[in-house]
Amino acid sequence: MIAENVGDEQRPIFPFTAIVGQDDLKIALVLNAIDPSIGGVLFTGPKGTGKSSLVRAAAEILPEVEVVEDCIFNCSPSDPTNMCESCRTLFLNGVVLPQTKKKMRVVSLPIGASEDRVIGSLDVEKAIREGVKALQPGLLVEANQNILYIDEVNLLPDHIVDMILDSSASGWNAIEREGISVSHPSRFILVGTMNPEEGELRPQILDRFGLHASAQTLVNLKERIEVIKRNDEFSNDPLPFRDKYEPEQEEIRKRIISARALLPKIKVSDLIVESVAKICSKLQVDGYRPDIVIVRGAKALAAFNGRDEVQVGEVIRAAELALGHRTRQEGQMIPPTSKEILNAIKTTPLGKEALRRKYRKPLSFKLPSLRIRRKYARITLILFFVMPVVWFFWFYFSFDLLSEFLNVQASNFDTPFRTFVALVLTLVLIGIIFILRRPRKVTVNGSIGLAKITVDQMLGQRMIAEERENSPHKIVADVKLKSEHQVSVEDGQRVFTESTKPSQEPEQSKRERWSHEERIRRGRNYLVGKRAKVVTSTSRGRYVWYEFPREKPWSIALEPTIRAAAPYQQARKSLDLSMVINPQDLRIKIREYRAPFSMILLIDMSMSMAMSLSNLARAIRTLHKYVYRRRDRIGIIVFKGADAYVLQEPTTNLELAIGKLWKVRASDLTPMAAGMYKAWRMLRLEKQRNKDSILMLVIVSDGITNIPLKQALSRHVNRMSLSDAQADSMDVAHLLARDDIRTVIINTSHTNINAPVKNEIQDFPWKIYTPTEFLMEISNITSGSYYGLALSKEDEMPLQTKKKRLDDWFYFEDKPKIG
């Protein structure tokens, strides 16, 4: 009893069928179990929606696979392209390989996994005891013909991700390290879960996943109550709970096995293939992988439904699962929404066919809301039962009328005959209504819990979900700029070349702009160089070299250690070990990784700034591709009213940050010092979390600060400005300078200060800075860079240039040259 329930997976797993809702996720997993060549699935969704539980639960419904007995690499006995060296030699020599059936497993890759465990490494035990150079297989070996499950895949270190990508692309894992040279097949179903709030996944790895399904927080009251109840029951006593769901589990298992058998027989019409290709080209998804995945997915779905032909509904479902995460136009466009996918389907021959045959209304009709629909459903149900009875009695009692209509004498017929005729007529009526109603409901089998969803129901749900999703992006302050911003010249020493009136000297302004662009290009390269700073560490990153241990050794570099011990083996004889290693032979691994980059955008949300908000959001969005590539973390702090607010903790997911930017309302006051202080604290925390991170602060403001800190940082004697608000900001700037935080200051309303500002009292060091002077002073203190923008009506710049330029500011790191 216990042995059965515990099995080789020791943990009590929450049964697959006991998970409430999340049909998309379940279907995606089942499809992969039916056809592993679909290529895995990625689950996204907020925390606590049961993503991880579902994958763990999937282990129990998986079918068996055939493997070569005693082969450590889990080779397939019938496929010579998927065999390790020794198995293939045997196979090609005509030896029938001994085979057994093994249950498919879920091999999990924990976040803390080290490189050598993932790809395999030299076997310590054998090396020291027997002096044999043997391979200790890694997780990629175990994962062959199984499921490789990565929880929180977006948090996995880059170098491990690269390795997995490599072997998932080729199906092979080549080990060339520590004196070992082996390659072996490693074909696995890659299953990952991630919470997009914690950062984005690189597009390359995103594309590796065949399907994508997003988990939703359930909004249905009953379902949610059910979730709590089942959870409670399970945690109280897991075993009886599991027994309760065993029949359902068994049913799914059987369905998967029969679907696997059915899969090769499934026909795909040319119409469908053509339509799928058309959908993908219409949506401009990158590569051909999506097309293939959709067809495979639709086939698997048809097999699961027990059909031997693929139908429209299955294609729609498969397309939704296969396209939801694909980048488009070489990563320029975000993945298509389900609405776009449906629109694309509509234009294909298949969609047209579906429209003509099955739909009276066009595909894109809008449902009022789910609740109203449900109400209708109830009424229909009542009518369905009540109406036939009413009809029957009507026919029965109005038989005279009826007989007249049929041209026969009513009195000729007795009661049984009357009943019979009334019954027949009722049935005919029901039949007519049924036929009339039927075409509108195209059933899409596929959901496990709910056996059937009609296409229009599905559409309606999707649209509502989409609408809900879109609603938070209300544009609060999208004021179009009346005139374009134009760059004027900046200088640390406050000596200026005038360029705010370009109408008078158009030539010069143009030239300046070009030179500016050029400098930007230089600047970026400079920063790229800086950014590529490689940090060595003993705890994370890729193993590159070895060294002597300085403290208690761990993370031993085995091969150098053995090499160090080798010359002394003559002298150190041991009975049971073939290799004696002394502590002084130990070498530890040196690893290296790229320094992460943390940037805080400090944004002024005063009224005066509100008009440039849309531009700003656009500029931040252009940063997106850099963030992708470089795994930078970007946080946003805004200051307005009396205090500064953290809009976004540092994250690699910029879309999230931009979405939040729209929700901020502008206010009158400008507490810049508070904003800078908060940013300083946040950056220090980033540094604490990872001491190698490069810190950067970007301030976007017009420099009109008017709220000081609640508590001043220094005594007034040392202050440089008469305004408390300015003085406090400068104090914080000194803190920034002390912690070596790079700053970029963007002044959105740069004014010309040709004439030196006169002090009220001569020889008195204190004064009040103009906003522009003030921002320059800040940039001086922090030795950062300063960019002034000024409004100019005449010089209209094309949008593209401006976007590019704004984007460049963030990455420009050249300190203004003086003189």
Map the footprint of another protein across residues 513-542, applying CB under 8 A: 539-540
- DSSP per position, 294-309: HHHHHHHHHHHTT-SB
* List 124, 180, 611, 722, residue binding another protein (CB under 8 A): 124
The label of the residue with tokens 């499809």 reads 31
Take residue 524 and report the two structure tokens written for it.
């970026």
* List 108, 186, 305, 426, residue binding another protein (CB under 8 A): 108
Question: Is 67 in contact with 77 (CB distance < 8 Å)?
Answer: yes
Residue 582 interacts with another protein (CB under 8 A): yes or no: yes
Residue 685 interacts with another protein (CB under 8 A): yes or no: yes
* List 69, 232, 467, 505, residue binding another protein (CB under 8 A): 232
The Cα 605–Cα 668 span in angstroms is: 8
Residue 462 interacts with another protein (CB under 8 A): yes or no: no
Span near another protein by CB under 8 A; candidates 112-120, 169-177, 269-277, 345-353: 112-120
Q: Which is nearer to another protein, 48 or 529 (CB)?
A: 48
* List 581, 600, 613, 623, residue binding another protein (CB under 8 A): 581
Residue 224 interacts with another protein (CB under 8 A): yes or no: yes
Binding mask 151-170 for another protein (x = CB under 8 A): xx--x---------------
Residue 631 interacts with another protein (CB under 8 A): yes or no: no
Neighbouring C-beta atoms of residue 369, cutoff 10 Å: 12
Binding mask 63-102 for another protein (x = CB under 8 A): ----------------------------------------
The label of the residue with tokens 């799928």 reads 276
Query: Is 2 exposed, middle or buried (CB count within 10 Å of its CB: 0-12, 13-18, 19+)?
Result: exposed
The Cα 632–Cα 654 span in angstroms is: 10
Residue 49 interacts with another protein (CB under 8 A): yes or no: yes
289 catalytic? Reply is yes
* List 78, 80, 95, 111, residue binding another protein (CB under 8 A): 111
Catalytic residue among 202, 224, 289, 307: 289
Residue 713 interacts with another protein (CB under 8 A): yes or no: no
Span near another protein by CB under 8 A; candidates 182-190, 437-445, 581-589, 770-778: 581-589
Specify the DSSP class assigned to residue 154: G
Residue 688 interacts with another protein (CB under 8 A): yes or no: yes
Span near another protein by CB under 8 A; candidates 393-401, 481-489, 657-665, 738-746: 657-665
Query: Is 731 exposed, middle or buried (CB count within 10 Å of its CB: 0-12, 13-18, 19+)?
Result: buried
Q: Which is nearer to another protein, 198 or 286 (CB)?
A: 198
Nearest by Cα to 604 from 460, 717, 740, 748: 748
Encoded amino acid at 543, one letter:
Y
* List 48, 179, 431, 449, residue binding another protein (CB under 8 A): 48
* List 63, 238, 335, 388, residue binding another protein (CB under 8 A): 238
Span near another protein by CB under 8 A; candidates 118-126, 425-433, 605-613, 784-792: 118-126
Residue 121 interacts with another protein (CB under 8 A): yes or no: yes
Take residue 504 and report the two structure tokens written for it.
């008078």
The Cα 573–Cα 568 span in angstroms is: 9
* List 227, 421, 463, 768, residue binding another protein (CB under 8 A): 227
- DSSP per position, 178-212: TTEEEEEE---EEEEEE-GGG-PPPHHHHHH-SEE
Residue 118 interacts with another protein (CB under 8 A): yes or no: yes
Neighbouring C-beta atoms of residue 222, cutoff 10 Å: 9
Pairing of strands 588-594, 542-547: antiparallel
Pairing of strands 189-194, 135-136: unpaired
The Cα 519–Cα 538 span in angstroms is: 38
Write down the least CB distance from residue 152 to another protein, Å: 7
Q: For 714, how many CA atoms within 13 A lie in the half-sphere containing its CB? A: 19
The Cα 74–Cα 65 span in angstroms is: 10
* List 64, 69, 85, 125, residue binding another protein (CB under 8 A): 125
Residue 302 interacts with another protein (CB under 8 A): yes or no: no
Take residue 393 and report the two structure tokens written for it.
């009695």
Write down the least CB distance from residue 731 to another protein, Å: 19
Active-site residue list: 289
